[in-house]
Amino acid sequence: MSPDSFTWSRWRQFGLFSKLGIACRQSDIMCFRGILSRHMIGWIEAERLSCRPKEKQFAVMFLEDDNFSWCHLTECEFLAVMDRMR
C-alpha cells in the first residue's frame, strides 16, 4: 500500500482490536490472527511511513464495517497473521 494511506485519522480510529477484545499483546494477536487476517487489506514496512514510522515493524491496514484503520505489528505478529491468509 502507499505510505499516504496510513494517516493519523485512520490510526486514531483503530477499533478492530477493541471490538474483538484484543489487548495489543502478541499472545492476543496470535489467538485472533485468523479473524485479523480476514480484515487485513494491506501493509507496508513501518519505517517508510511519515505518520508514526517504526523500525522493524509493519503498518497493517484493516477494513471493518466500512472503516479503514491501521496499527503496527511486529514482524512475528505480521508473519503469523499473513500465514493465516494462505
E strands in 1-86:
40-45, 57-64, 67-74
CA distances, 13 to each of 6, 32, 80 (Å): 12, 20, 24
In tens, the pLDDT along 53-85 reads 999 999 999 998 898 999 999 999 999 999 877
| pTM summary value | 0.88
Q: Which residues does residue 18 pair with via DSSP β-bridges, in sequence order?
A: none
Could you give the number of structural domains in the chain?
1
Q: Which residues does residue 43 pair with via DSSP β-bridges, in sequence order?
A: 60
**Residue 76: which domain range?**
3-85
In tens, the pLDDT along 3-62 reads 999 999 998 877 778 878 888 788 898 899 999 999 999 999 999 999 999 999 999 999
CA neighbours within 13 Å on the CB side: how many for 30? 6
Distance CA 83, CA 4 (A): 26
